[in-house]
Amino acid sequence: MPGPETGKLPRACRALAAVALLFFLGQPQAQVLQPNAAQLTLCMACHGPQGNSQIPLTPSLAGQPKVFIENQLVLIREGLRDIPQMKGLLDGVKDPEIVGLATYFSAQTPAKVSGSANSATYQRGLQTSQRMLCGTCHLPDYSGREQIPRLAGQQEAFLLYAMKQFRDHPGLGRDTIMAASLYGLKDADLVDMAHFLTYFK
């Protein structure tokens, strides 16, 4: 959901500032600080060991593209994404520390999903994902790239929640391409896709 307006700068100025920060983070000369134990412990309290979430509505960070993690952390820190559970957690975290956190979690191996897929739901999700060309941006193995997230093996409940948010609540801090791509899909379609992506083989 869009974040509330904070600070004295107009929202447009804050957005431009965030873009500038994202540009900075993408530069090869950006300093990288190793995340300290306290930072990692705080992240893993919700996102799980090595970033493999064990909480249905909390996304896994393990194996996510580094640039994607950097982008999201900056958007959250700057108030351009409003995630109540993370309110204030990134206050004072410097750009090099964000790069360090992204570097760590992107290098972790995503855990295998427990349980088994429902074959009918999986096949419907596969067909919908193919029809929607999801693998074009997220790659055929749904591992993601650059600023595009990994979907394969992600928490099923989180995937469903995120897709509904994109479809129903487009706005600041949300990918407009995703909002447009999911427009008009029924809840049942999103349920099938979330199941397919979670158990993707």
| 104: CB partners within 8 A, 6+ apart | 34, 35, 40
| 160: CB partners within 8 A, 6+ apart | 190, 191, 194
Known binder of ligand: residue 47? yes
Known binder of ligand: residue 13? no
**Cβ count near 9 (within 10 Å):** 13
138 sits in which H/E element: helix 134-138
The conformational region for residue 39 under phi > 0 = left, psi -120 to 50 = alpha, else beta, is alpha
- DSSP annotation of 201 reads -
Name the residue with tokens 């074959």. Answer: 119
Known binder of ligand: residue 138? yes
Known binder of ligand: residue 195? no
Query: 3-state secondary structure string, 108-124?
Result: CCCCCCCCCCCHHHHHH
Distance, in Å, from the CA atom of 29 to the CA atom of 153, rounded to the nearest integer, reads 32
Known binder of ligand: residue 43? yes
Q: Binding site: residue ranges?
A: 43, 46-47, 86, 134, 137-138, 178
Q: Binding site for heme c: residue ranges?
A: 43, 46-47, 86, 134, 137-138, 178
